[in-house]
Amino acid sequence: MVGLRVRVGGGERPASARARAAKQQDLARLRGERDDLRGQAQLLAWIVHVLEIENSKLKETNAALERHVAAQFLVPDLARRRRP
């Protein structure tokens, strides 16, 4: 036989080890990106929540102000007044 070599045992080929290491690095990078995006999504959700609360407060304040202005400038109904 001409130069056949059979590998016995658990030895990995160098290319396979490099490919596995590259996959592990990619996996670690993707996990890091996922965690970063998850944190950004949570921060955005918190910001939206705060803005919704502020919007609600502003709407309440605006309604109260409109009632106050309407009460100040209320025009009396002259048709309903009693004549002396």
Q: State pLDDT tens for residues 22-77.
A: 999 999 999 999 999 999 999 999 999 999 999 999 999 999 999 988 888 776 65
Domain count, the chain: 1
Q: 36 in a domain, yes or no?
A: yes
What is the distance between the alpha carbons of residues 44 and 41, in angstroms, rounded to a whole number? 5
Q: 81 in a domain, yes or no?
A: no
Q: 84 in a domain, yes or no?
A: no
What is the distance between the alpha carbons of residues 84 and 82, in angstroms, rounded to a whole number? 6
Q: 2 in a domain, yes or no?
A: no
Q: 7 in a domain, yes or no?
A: no
Those residues whose C-beta lies under 8 Å from the C-beta of residue 12, and which sit 6 or more positions away, are 20
Measured distance between the N- and C-terminal CA atoms of the chain, rounded to whole angstroms:
133
Q: What element of type H or E holds 27?
A: helix 14-72
pLDDT score of 55: 98
pLDDT score of 64: 94
pLDDT score of 9: 54
Q: 43 in a domain, yes or no?
A: yes
Q: 34 in a domain, yes or no?
A: yes
Domain span holding position 25: 14-73
pLDDT score of 15: 82
